[in-house]
């Protein structure tokens, strides 16, 4: 098993954190992982993306030209990266900020209003966690409980334990929204 995921948006959306949490969750399951962040010089407001490679074998190269999956948090990211997603991959679109689709009929596309959901659970800053939860629920890339534990650990490590309850709600609502809006050809565990 080998899978590549690209998380893309603008700086300040927690793009790199999504990848870091997914990578951590995969490592806790004994899988090999590569997390490669990339962002513009201005960071907040500039382009930010990262790729995560997860494999049950040694990963030879960290470069991802055609990811299996894409989580697009803003329109420029969707337009730039969706043409490169492999057939049969997942393209998750933040429909709170993106009014178009990927233009692909060979991928599983799901639109989730992640900013709106995050705002409803208490803070738009949790939009990245909503998106991560929805993506994991749709893709089945890793056990959902591993993501839950990795989110908890991330906020403990950052001395932000008070944000754990908010982020647990964000996880639950992201997963719930993915289940309620899943395409017919997707089986969510």
Domains of the chain: 2-181 (3.40.920.10)
Q: What is the DSSP letter of 86?
A: P
Main-chain phi, psi angles of 15, to 5 degrees: -60, -50
Q: What does pLDDT average to over the chain?
A: 90
How confident is the model over 108-133, as pLDDT tens digits?
A: 999 999 999 999 999 999 999 999 99
Residue 75 has pLDDT above 70, yes or no: yes
pTM: 0.91
Residue 189 has pLDDT above 80, yes or no: no
Give the Cα separation of 185 and 42 in Å (integer): 40
The mean per-residue pLDDT over the stretch 85-113 comes to 94
Give the Cα separation of 95 and 112 in Å (integer): 5
Radius of gyration of the chain (CA): 15
Give burial (CB, 10 Å; 0-12/13-18/19+) of 44.
exposed
| CA 159 and chain centroid, separation | 23
């Amino acid at each position: 098993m080998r899978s590549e995921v690209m998380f893309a948006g603008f700086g300040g959306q927690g793009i790199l954190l999504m990848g870091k949490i997914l990578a951590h969750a995969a490592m806790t399951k004994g899988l090999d992982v590569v997390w490669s962040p990339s962002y513009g010089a201005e960071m907040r407001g500039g382009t930010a993306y990262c790729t995560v490679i997860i494999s049950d074998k040694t990963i030879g190269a960290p470069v991802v030209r055609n990811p299996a999956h894409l989580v697009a948090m803003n329109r420029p990211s969707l337009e730039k990266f969706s043409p490169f997603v492999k057939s049969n991959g997942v393209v998750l679109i933040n429909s709170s900020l993106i009014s178009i689709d990927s233009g692909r009929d060979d991928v599983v596309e799901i639109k989730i209003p992640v900013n709106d959901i995050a705002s409803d659970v208490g803070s738009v800053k949790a939009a990245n966690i909503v998106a991560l939860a929805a993506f994991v629920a749709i893709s089945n890339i890793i056990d959902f409980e591993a993501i839950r534990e990795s989110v908890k650990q991330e906020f403990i490590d950052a001395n932000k334990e008070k944000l754990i309850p908010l982020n647990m709600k964000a996880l639950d609502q992201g997963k719930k929204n993915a289940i309620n809006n899943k395409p017919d050809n997707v089986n969510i565990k």
